[in-house]
Amino acid sequence: MFFRKKDSDRAPEAAAPPAAAAKAGDGTVSVSLTVNGTPVTASIDPRTLLVQFIRENQRLTGTHVGCDTSQCGACVVHLDGRAVKSCTVLAASVDGGKVTTIEGLAKDGKLHPMQEAFREHHGLQCGYCTPGMIMSAIDIVNRKGTNLDEATVRHELEGNICRCTGYHNIVAAVRAGAANMSSSRQAAE
Amino acid sequence: MYAFQYHRPQSVADAAALLASDSEAKILAGGHTLLPTMKQRLAGPKTIVDLGHVAELKGITKSGNALVIGAMTTHAEVAGSEVVRGAIPNLARLATMIGDAHVRHRGTIGGSVANNDPAADYPAAVLALNATVVTNKREIKADDFFKGLFSTALQDGEIITRLSFPIPGKFGYAKFAQPASLFALVGVAVAQTGSSARVAVTGAGSSGVFRQTAMEGALGKGWSAQSLAGIATDAGKMMSDIHGDSAYRAHLVGVMAKRAVAQAG
């Protein structure tokens, strides 16, 4: 299984200097991208999925692998400002891109308004789908604005599956988080 | 996933050269069909040519009486485009119905058309709108392009560069989505140009997208949902699976066609 390698099996790309590993003909590909504002360059196996790169190379394990078949949305991150399923993107394709993961949301020790809303409304039970839910919720706000009705939220969350909650509190959290994003934007102006 | 060599060309010419030099190379567009297929080891291309960095394959323009969409334009870009909404509004609406928001941010029109999944949405629009598939080698009319399940007129190494849609008088698309996959159980696209009508059906046919010519004749005589009353679709040519048998799909073709005409106005 691709995602359950032992540490001893792991390719040494995280530690190796990119220039040394990227020599022609060794089967690797060089990729440079920004992860949560930090520029990253690595030499990777072309098969590396973006979610693997984030979890195993960058060691940011907030982004989850749920179904690994682009159905469940646990792996959603923002790529150049848009929500994507990182289990269905090659890391090599993201060269030059800007990736934001759940770890990139909180600023100065303060939760993002959408994270705060999930906490306040208990929009989770086991929490496995939550990072993807929150990244999707912010994407919904980016596309649909901060005043979201319930039907819109439920429809827009069709790419994110939660097997615990029945969605009720998630929908409440997304709506509240959207409204909070509106007030925090106004406060910033 | 099996190992592969990866290339990230910046131009169609470079991509074509890479494809020409390697008969086992496969094109990667948005990757939302190819990558899942590779993960399941149902496909194991030796080489991947990623078109994601070829800027000339992106973009939407209106050129004379045609709406021209670059092959690497995503579903979300089509859905949100003022140019598409102005020229063929229900084509933008069709794009909003593909998959979920995350899929629409990656999936591309060229990839969808090249893959020709029998339940994909775009092939119905391409066929009903009598669009032209433009490649790096030639132009292919929609009627000559779709060749059956996952099969097209594309040759090895041929790259779709753009799709050119003649702007019709009217266009509508109605889809009965399979609720888990969001693919079309049945989707019907209808278009009227002058007094002639074209009707294309996806999701239903056992050979993929097809034209419903009896409905085209009826709509050519009178463009209204009522004109379609009593026009049957041959259940013998429909797919049948756990989600719907062939008789059910044949019936849904009629229902969706009427809805599409009503939507088209």
All residue ranges of chain B with pLDDT < 70 are none
Give the total number of structural domains in chain B.
2
- Interface-testing mutation among A70, A154, A157, with chain B (most B C-beta atoms within 10 A): A70
Q: Evaluate whether residue A107 is within a structural domain.
A: no
The whole-number pLDDT of residue A187 equals 67
**Are A158 and B182 a contacting pair at CB < 8 A?**
yes
Task: Specify the pTM.
Answer: 0.92
- The tens digit of pLDDT for each residue in A35-70 reads 999 999 999 999 999 999 999 999 999 999 999 999
Chain A CB contacts of B48 under 8 Å are: 46, 90
Is residue A1 within 8 A of residue B39, CB to CB? The reply is no
Please report which helix (H) or strand (E) contains residue B214, including its range: helix B213-221
The range of the structural domain enclosing residue A10 comes to 2-101
The whole-number pLDDT of residue B16 equals 98
Please report which helix (H) or strand (E) contains residue B50, including its range: strand B47-50
Place of tokens 């792991």: A10
Closest-CA residue of A relative to B99 is: A159
Residues A9 and A90 in one domain: yes
Closest-CA residue of A relative to B48 is: A46
Share of chain A above pLDDT 70, in %: 85
- Give the pLDDT mean for A111-116: 98
Sort strands B25-28 and B47-50 into parallel, antiparallel or unpaired.
parallel
Give the total number of structural domains in chain A.
2
Q: Is the predicted pLDDT of residue A17 greater than 80, yes or no?
A: no
SS3 B48: strand
For residue B188, give the CATH number of its domain: 3.30.390.50
Question: Whole-angstrom Cα distance, residue A1 to residue A156?
Answer: 31
Q: Is the predicted pLDDT of residue A103 greater than 90, yes or no?
A: yes
Question: Whole-angstrom Cα distance, residue B3 to residue A154?
Answer: 39
The whole-number pLDDT of residue A183 equals 83
Q: Is the predicted pLDDT of residue A11 greater than 50, yes or no?
A: no
Q: Evaluate whether residue A106 is within a structural domain.
A: no
- For residue B166, with 0-12 CB atoms within 10 Å meaning exposed, 13-18 middle and 19 or more buried, which class applies? middle
The whole-number pLDDT of residue A23 equals 38
The range of the structural domain enclosing residue B33 comes to 1-54
- Give the pLDDT mean for A61-90: 97
The whole-number pLDDT of residue A3 equals 40
- Interface-testing mutation among A65, A76, A84, with chain B (most B C-beta atoms within 10 A): A84
Q: Give the residue ranges of DSSP H helices in B1-81.
A: 12-20, 34-39, 75-80
For residue A63, give the CATH number of its domain: 3.10.20.30
Closest-CA residue of A relative to B29 is: A93
The whole-number pLDDT of residue A7 equals 40
Count of C-beta atoms within a 10 Å radius of residue A59: 8
For residue B31, give the CATH number of its domain: 3.30.43.10
Count of C-beta atoms within a 10 Å radius of residue A3: 12
Q: CA nearest B260: which of B143, B147, B150, B129?
A: B129
**Are B105 and A27 a contacting pair at CB < 8 A?**
no
Q: Evaluate whether residue B82 is within a structural domain.
A: no
**Are A69 and B100 a contacting pair at CB < 8 A?**
no
Q: Is the predicted pLDDT of residue A15 greater than 50, yes or no?
A: no
Q: Using alpha carbons, list the distances in angstroms from residue A162 to A127, A128, B72, B160.
A: 9, 8, 31, 38
